[in-house]
Amino acid sequence: MSIQIGDRLPEVPLQRIREGIETVDTNALFEGRKVVLFAVPGAFTPTCSEKHLPGFVAHYDDFIAKGIDVACMSVNDPFVMQAWGQSQEVPAGLQMLADGNGDFTRALGLELDASAYGMGTRSKRFAMYVDDGVVQQLFVEAPGEFRVSTAEHMLDALR
């Protein structure tokens, strides 16, 4: 079963690169904070690079003005996430999180079998609003869709 509104996020380590590779558990990332976490099936893939991440980059300041941090996650390694963030000119505060083995994605119940495309297990495309580790809003895309996980849709939901 996948995570639902009102559920606490599972505690799973993720990785990011700042001064070097850091492993940080989800409790540390989300405890005491308001965060929009959005996930993409793969860094550098067309919809993810042309629409999904750029939308959150363009509206990053709108989320910050609401006191909400933003994090992007993908089942990629931290080096790929760092390179993708640099290529997309991601603001320094927008965290690029790597779920390299898909452990967090599986714990959320939001995995996607993309093996038919040579991509193995990935994350479904989604966006969630988390307040102090508890899911307040959750928007999961149907396969091949890009509507409900956009930055604009999330901003509308937060009004």
Closest CA to 158 of 95, 73, 79, 67: 67
Q: How far apart are CA 81 and CA 139, in angstroms?
A: 22
**Per-residue model confidence (pLDDT) at position 112:** 93
Q: How far apart are CA 55 and CA 129, in angstroms?
A: 16
* Position 8 in a domain: no
* Position 108 in a domain: yes
* Position 1 in a domain: no
Query: pLDDT of the chain along its 159 residues, tens only?
Result: 899 999 999 999 999 999 899 999 999 999 999 999 999 999 999 999 999 999 999 999 999 999 999 999 999 999 999 999 999 999 999 999 999 999 999 999 999 998 988 888 999 999 999 999 999 999 999 988 999 999 999 999 999
- Here the CATH number for the domain that contains residue 147 is 3.40.30.10
* Position 4 in a domain: no
* Position 6 in a domain: no
* Position 30 in a domain: yes
* Position 51 in a domain: yes
Active site residue 48: yes
Q: How far apart are CA 17 and CA 4, in angstroms?
A: 29
Catalytic residue among 29, 48, 72, 110: 48
Q: How many domains does the chain have?
A: 1
Q: How far apart are CA 49 and CA 31, in angstroms?
A: 29
Closest CA to 91 of 63, 127, 51: 63
Runs of H (alpha helix) within 34-102: 46-47, 53-58, 60-65, 78-87
Reported as a single tens digit per residue, the pLDDT across 97-135 is 999 999 999 999 999 998 988 888 999 999 999 999 999
* Position 124 in a domain: yes
Q: Whole domain around residue 130: which residue ranges?
A: 13-157
